[in-house]
Amino acid sequence: MFRYFPSNYPWDLSINLALEMGARIGEIEEMCAPLKEAAKAKDEAGSIAFRESWERMADKLCDLAQEDEDKGRLLSAGDKYARAATYYGTAERLQGLGSESRLTLYKHFLKVFAKGTTLAKENCERVEIPYEGKHISALFVRAEGVEGKAPILVQVNGLDSIKEMIYRVGVPQLLAKRGISSLIVDQPGTGEAIRLQGFTARYDSEHWASRIVDWLETRDEIDAKRIGLQGVSLGGYYCPRAVAFEPRFACGLVWGANHDWRDVQKRRLEKEGDFPVPHYWDHVRWVWGAKDMDEFMQIAENVHLDGVLDQIKVPFLVTHGEKDSQIPLKWAYRTYEQLVNSPKRELKIFTDREGGVQHSSFDNSANAGAYLVDWVAETLGGHTA
What value does the mean pLDDT take over residues 166-181? 98
The 10 Å Cβ neighbour count of residue 172 is: 25
Per-residue pLDDT at 366 exceeds 90: yes
Residue type, 179: G
pLDDT band at residue 296 under the 50/70/90 scheme: very high
How many percent of the chain have pLDDT more than 90?
A: 93
What is the pLDDT, as a whole number, of residue 238? 98
Q: Which residues contact 269 (CB under 8 A, 6 or more apart)?
A: none
Distance, in Å, from the CA atom of 69 to the CA atom of 77, rounded to the nearest integer, reads 6
For the stretch 51-60, what's the b/e string if a residue is b when 16 or more beta carbons lie within 10 angstroms of its beta carbon?
bebbbebbee
Domain locations along the chain: 9-120, 125-380
Distance, in Å, from the CA atom of 309 to the CA atom of 320, rounded to the nearest integer, reads 17
Distance, in Å, from the CA atom of 135 to the CA atom of 281, rounded to the nearest integer, reads 27
How many percent of the chain have pLDDT more than 70?
A: 100
Taking only Cα atoms into account, the Rg of the chain, rounded to an integer number of angstroms, comes to 20
What is the pLDDT, as a whole number, of residue 98? 74
What is the third-level CATH fold of 125-380? Answer: Rossmann fold (3.40.50)
- 154 in helix, strand or coil? strand
What is the pLDDT, as a whole number, of residue 42? 72
pLDDT tens, 24-82? 999 999 999 999 999 987 778 888 999 999 999 999 999 999 999 999 999 999 999 99
Distance, in Å, from the CA atom of 373 to the CA atom of 383, rounded to the nearest integer, reads 10
Phi/psi at 153 (5° precision): -115, 120
Q: Where are the beta strands (DSSP E) in 192-341?
A: 222-232, 251-255, 316-321
Distance, in Å, from the CA atom of 77 to the CA atom of 368, rounded to the nearest integer, reads 30
pLDDT band at residue 110 under the 50/70/90 scheme: very high
Distance, in Å, from the CA atom of 131 to the CA atom of 104, rounded to the nearest integer, reads 24
Beta pairing partners, 128: 137
Are 331 and 359 spatial neighbours (Cβ–Cβ below 8 Å)? no
What is the pLDDT, as a whole number, of residue 273? 76
**Using CA of residue 180, residue 320, residue 307, residue 132, what is the dihedral sign?**
negative
pLDDT tens, 118-162? 999 999 999 999 999 999 999 999 999 999 999 999 999 999 999
Beta pairing partners, 346: 317
Distance, in Å, from the CA atom of 189 to the CA atom of 94, rounded to the nearest integer, reads 16
Residue 44 burial class via C-beta count within 10 angstroms: exposed 0-12, middle 13-18, buried 19 and up: middle
What is the pLDDT, as a whole number, of residue 271? 84
What is the pLDDT, as a whole number, of residue 168? 98
Are 273 and 337 spatial neighbours (Cβ–Cβ below 8 Å)? no
Q: Where are the beta strands (DSSP E) in the chain?
A: 125-131, 134-141, 150-156, 181-185, 222-232, 251-255, 316-321, 345-350
Of 71, 66, 64, 105, give the one whose Cα is nearest residue 85: 105
pLDDT tens, 214-232? 999 999 999 999 999 999 9
Per the prediction, the chain carries an average pLDDT of 96
Q: Where are the beta strands (DSSP E) in 40-196?
A: 125-131, 134-141, 150-156, 181-185
pLDDT tens, 195-216? 999 999 999 999 999 999 999 9
Per-residue pLDDT at 277 exceeds 90: no
Please work out, in degrees rounded to the nearest 5, the angle formed at the alpha carbon of residue 305 by the alpha carbons of 132 and 277: 70
Are 132 and 205 spatial neighbours (Cβ–Cβ below 8 Å)? no
Phi/psi at 9 (5° precision): -60, -45
Are 239 and 312 spatial neighbours (Cβ–Cβ below 8 Å)? no
**CATH second-level architecture of 9-120?**
Up-down Bundle (1.20)
What is the pLDDT, as a whole number, of residue 41? 79
What value does the mean pLDDT take over residues 262-270? 94
Per-residue pLDDT at 100 exceeds 80: no
Per-residue pLDDT at 167 exceeds 90: yes
